[in-house]
Amino acid sequence: MNAIISAPDLANELAGDHPPVILDVRWQLGGPNLRPEYEKAHIPGAVFVDLDAELAGPAGSGGRHPLPDIGAFGTAMRAAGVSADRGVVVYDGGLNWAAARAWWLLRWAGHPSVRVLDGGLAAWAGTLTAEIPEPAPGTFEPVPGTLPLLDADGAAALARTGLLLDARAAERYRGDVEPIDPVGGHIPGAVSAPTTQNVAESGLFRTAAELADRFEGLGAKPDSEVGVYCGSGVSGAHQVLALAVAGIPAALYVGSWSEWSRDGDRPVATGPDPQ
C-alpha cells in the first residue's frame, strides 16, 4: 500500500463503506499546542492527537521526542478509534512532519495500513467541521518492530558502513547555526539530505520517480542499508516516509541530534562534507 493518499482519494474513501480512521496531528516546533485550531475546524471525523504528549515520551537524555511508553501509546490510539483491521490516515497543517511521525510510529508499532494525507490540511478541498467526534474505542495493540529502529551506536555504525542521511537544514548540518540543541554539526559520516527537498513547490510530495532519483543521487538504492536522523525524530520520519514512497526502506534514529549532541563523548563533525 502507498504510504501517502491524495485529498481527492481520501474524500472518496470517506464517502465509501469502509472509511479510514482520521487523525489530526497538527503541531509546531516550540509553539503552543494546536488543539484550539483543531477545535475550530478539522476534517469531519478526525480525532486530534498531541504529538508531544501521545507520540513521544518526556524530553531528556534520550532526546526531545523519544519513543513514547508503548502501553500509553496503545491506550491513546485505541481512544482515537484505531484498530488494526481498519486503515488510518493522518494529517497535519501541511508540512507533514508531524503526520509522518504518527505514520512512522503506528507502522513501527505494527499497524498494517497507515497513510499520510499528501499536502496535509492545506490540500483538503472538502468540508471542515468544528464538531468533536466521539469515536468507538479501537482495538489496536502495539507490537513494536515492524519498521527498523536505530540507537546512537547503530547510527554511528551505519554512517561508516552504509548510508546515514541527516534530514535537518544544511546550515545545521554544517554547524553554521544551532538554534535548539547544545552544539551544531553532524554525526561523522552522515550525508546532508534536507527534508524540505522531498516536496515540490505545491507542498505535495515529489513523485516516486523524482524521489528515487533524489535519493539515488545521495547514495541510496532499494538494496542499500539506509538510516535517517534529524533534530528529534520528527522531520526524520518525513524522510523515512519519502524513502518509502521511493521504494527504499530506511531505519529511523529517533533520538537524533537532540540525543547525540547531549553526550559530550560522541564525536561531532562540521562543515559541508560527511567526515
C-alpha–C-alpha distance, residues 198 and 190, integer Å: 18
CB atoms within 10 A of CB 177: 10
The CA–CA distances, whole Å, from 110 to 25, 99, 126, 131 equal 19, 17, 30, 30
C-alpha–C-alpha distance, residues 156 and 161, integer Å: 9
Instruction: Name the burial class of residue 117, with classes exposed (0-12), middle (13-18) and buried (19+) by CB atoms within 10 angstroms of its CB.
Output: buried
| 251 catalytic residue (yes or no) | no
Pick the catalytic residue: 10, 230, 245, 252? Answer: 230
List, in order, residues 6 or more apart from 197 with CB less than 8 Å away. 214
The helix (H) or strand (E) run that includes residue 90 is strand 88-91
Nearest to 165 by CA among 65, 56, 105, 242: 242
* Catalytic (active-site) positions: 230
